[in-house]
Amino acid sequence: EVQLVESGGGLVYPGGSLRLSCAASGFTFTPAWMAWVRQAPGKGLEWVGRIRSSAEAGATDYAAPVKGRFTISRDDSKNTLYLQMNSLKIEDSALYYCTIDHYRITTTVVKPFESWGQGTLVTVSS
Amino acid sequence: QTVVTQEPSFSVSPGGTVTLTCGLSSGSVSTSHFPSWYQQTPGQTPRTLIYSTTIRSSGVSDRFSGSMLGNKAALTITGAQADDECDYYCVIYLSSGIWVFGGGTKLTVL
């Protein structure tokens, strides 16, 4: 069974930094493309960004609102995904979910965000 | 910046049929966008209903179906039940390689 356990959330001042972690188990982490998705209280889902497998140089992609401030990384030896958040803004306050970006079943069939952690809450406030 | 559009809210009678749509602020949704649909009840993580336009996820009732409707992706719920009342999100894969979620549709069954 896939398990994704996020940690590291908390209260931080605007302009501050925070590092989230996601411990993965129950699947082969190394080749998986991993992603972070967030959800502000009472709001919708927002894809934050992803990291490809280390075999693909661990290349990353980010949503426009976080590009240049957030960095996603991974440690395959620990089956752990990270999200380094810098220059935090009030609008970054959200529940941050770790998820498997997608499974590519065939060239025309892609299954995104099949498994989710329970999330870790980030609150940016003065 | 591309916005994925969904109806903010929709209402359906118990036993009725409702179709929710997922569009793009500029251009048309196609199957190459791999549109997928999620159901989220309050306090829960999202659950995959449909992926790659029409494929029902394992364990999902056949009351839920995905399709293309003109230039949008669509989620149709037939025989609406009280526990279908929750939020529904679509997500689209853009050619730039990023995923973009729609704003979600709050479905009311009454």
- DSSP labels for B56-75? EPTT--TTEEEEEETTEEEE
Q: Which of B6, B37, B44, B51 would best serve as a mutation to test chain A binding (most A beta carbons within 10 A)?
A: B51
Interface check A108 vs B, CB under 8 A: yes
Q: How far is CA A2 from CA A28, A100, A114, B42, in A?
A: 9, 10, 10, 22
Chain B residues 57-86 within an 8 A CB cutoff of chain A: 57
Whether residue B88 is predicted with pLDDT greater than 90 in this model: the reply is yes
Task: For residue A33, give both structure tokens.
Answer: 């493309």
Measured between alpha carbons, how far is B80 from B100 in angstroms, rounded to an integer? 27
Residues of A in contact with B59 (CB under 8 A): none
Closest chain A residue to the Cα of B38, Cα to Cα = A113
Residue A108 binned pLDDT confidence (cut-offs 50, 70, 90)? confident
Question: What pLDDT is recorded for position A44?
Answer: 97
Measured between alpha carbons, how far is B46 from A113 in angstroms, rounded to an integer? 9
- The predicted model gives A3-8 an average pLDDT of 98
Measured between alpha carbons, how far is A5 from B30 in angstroms, rounded to an integer? 34
- Under DSSP, is residue A32 helix (H, G, I), strand (E, B) or coil? coil
Residue B1 binned pLDDT confidence (cut-offs 50, 70, 90)? confident
Measured between alpha carbons, how far is B105 from B110 in angstroms, rounded to an integer? 16
Q: Which of A4, A103, A110 would best serve as a mutation to test chain B binding (most B beta carbons within 10 A)?
A: A110
B76: left (phi over 0), alpha (psi -120 to 50) or beta: beta
pLDDT tens-place string over residues B58-86: 999 999 999 999 999 999 999 999 999 99
Task: For residue A92, give both structure tokens.
Answer: 């970054």
> β-strand B9-12 against B64-69: which pairing, if any?
unpaired
Which of A111, A118, A119 is the closest to B51 by Cβ? Answer: A111
CB contact under 8 A, B91 and A64: no
Question: What pLDDT is recorded for position B104?
Answer: 98
Query: What mean pLDDT, rounded, does chain B reach?
Result: 97
- The predicted model gives A114-124 an average pLDDT of 96
Measured between alpha carbons, how far is A103 from A105 in angstroms, rounded to an integer? 6
Interface check B103 vs A, CB under 8 A: yes
Interface check B56 vs A, CB under 8 A: no
CB contact under 8 A, A112 and B51: yes
Interface check B42 vs A, CB under 8 A: no
Whether residue A107 is predicted with pLDDT greater than 90 in this model: the reply is no
Interface check B30 vs A, CB under 8 A: no
pLDDT tens-place string over residues A53-101: 999 999 999 999 999 999 999 999 999 999 999 999 999 999 999 999 9
Residue B93's DSSP bridge partners are B99
Question: What pLDDT is recorded for position A105?
Answer: 86
Question: What pLDDT is recorded for position A92?
Answer: 98
Q: Report CA torsion sign: A6, A12, A15, A18.
A: negative
In this structure, the number of other CB atoms found within 10 A of the CB of residue A41 comes to 9
Residue A96's DSSP bridge partners are A38, A120
Residue keyed to tokens 């972070």: A36
pLDDT tens-place string over residues A16-64: 999 999 999 999 999 999 999 999 999 999 999 999 999 999 999 999 9
Whether residue A106 is predicted with pLDDT greater than 90 in this model: the reply is no
CB contact under 8 A, A101 and B99: yes
